[in-house]
Structure 1
């Protein structure tokens, strides 16, 4: 059953990539290896709220569902309506939004102020600069003091853009993902 879901997710991801490559950013969903790398520093026992930006077919969403506390509020943001509909059906216990730059408004809609953690699969390298700046400003505005922002990218070009918004950014690699990915971490 799991193999069928994975195949269906890959098929959906590829279809959506072919229809809008700049919005999707990759031919294939993230790997389980990348999910583990993204979440390796998340302290689930003390995470009461988490946001995922650019959820795609839900590789990270499934990881969140398996690891979050029962009372942890999870908000999943995916602009592609087909993928968001599939995620909403698969994860009905989570809250959903459509546009990352509207994150503060999405959180307000669900009665959430600031959050403990934001993870991102958004393809920042192909997002127009003005929109990227608005998204990163929304991320900063949505994080609690001490909260963390974790994003992956396929090229190192975003390091300096992240540094313009976040004082200290650490980077790590996950070579077992296809394609290999850089994982950036910021703690507010």
Structure 2
């Protein structure tokens, strides 16, 4: 028997609120805002960090060509297994701290886009730095990060390593959410930076 998405998400939150970050999956309003923010015609490879039950994933799938490489990162095993059934052609991993290594293993050097719903506000400063470093290193020059967060806490850290093009507020989500649209600077050589 398939566990309904909301129940699966709530179970994940109750089991580990530090990793799940919310009691409900993302709303369709948030998903629509995220999808509108991505230049899909440029996307041949994409990663979603914190895929949950697939509330955003279904919208990502609808935008992509069949040849696009899609990486889904989800720590919760039950949610990850549920996603594998729904999206058998996507590539699954549990830990976004190894983003660069995992995409490289699949023959991808850099991604065109990363969609991130990880609850940074629950992470230690060290973990925030590790994941942000992985994001920046795995994005191609000019690549896009769409990150949705429940506060503006990460604005300073994003600004230090990425160009924030805009931040939009989505009130019709629980909790209400900020969507950061960021781009990796085309002039930065990450190989020479101090990550």
Per-residue CA deviation, residues 92-134 of structure 1 (Å, 9 max, x unaligned), is 0101111111001110121111010000010001111101100
Q: Does 1:44 align with 2:44?
A: no
Q: CA separation in 2, counterparts of 1:126 and 1:170?
A: 23
CA distance in 1, matches of 2:159, 2:39: 24
1:160 aligns with 2:133: no
Q: Does 1:19 align with 2:15?
A: yes
Cα gap change, 1:168 to 1:42, in 2 (>3 Å):
closer
Query: Structure 1 residues 47-56 or 80-89, which shifts more?
Result: 80-89
Q: Which stretch shows the higher mean deviation, 161-170 or 61-70? A: 161-170
**Alpha-carbon separation, structure 2, partners of 1:181 and 1:103:** 24
- Residue 105 of structure 2 is aligned to residue 118 of structure 1: no
Choose from 101, 104, 110 the match for 2:100.
Answer: 104
Q: Does 1:90 align with 2:86?
A: yes
Unaligned runs of 5+ residues in structure 1 are none
Computed over aligned residues only, the root mean square deviation of the Cα atoms, in angstroms, reads 1.5
TM-score (norm 1): 0.93
Task: Tell me: CA distance 1:44–1:167, structure 2 relative to 1, closer, same or farther (3 Å).
Answer: closer
Q: How does 1:3-18 map to 2 (within 5 A)?
A: 8-18=4-14
Aligned twin of 2:24:
28
Alpha-carbon contact 1:169-1:185 (below 8 Å) kept = yes
- How far apart, in 2, do the equivalents of 1:49 and 1:30 lie? 22
Which consecutive unaligned segments of at least 5 residues does structure 2 have? 185-195
1:135 matched to which residue of 2?
Answer: 131
Corresponding residue pairs, total: 184
Q: Is the 8 A contact 2:164 2:180 kept in 1?
A: no
Residues of 2 paired with 1:108 and 1:161: CA distance?
Answer: 25
Bigger drift between 171-180 and 135-144 goes to 171-180
Is residue 187 of structure 1 aligned with residue 183 of structure 2? Answer: yes
Greater share of helix residues, 1 or 2? Answer: 1
Give, in whole Å, the separation in 2 of the partners of 1:125 and 1:145.
27
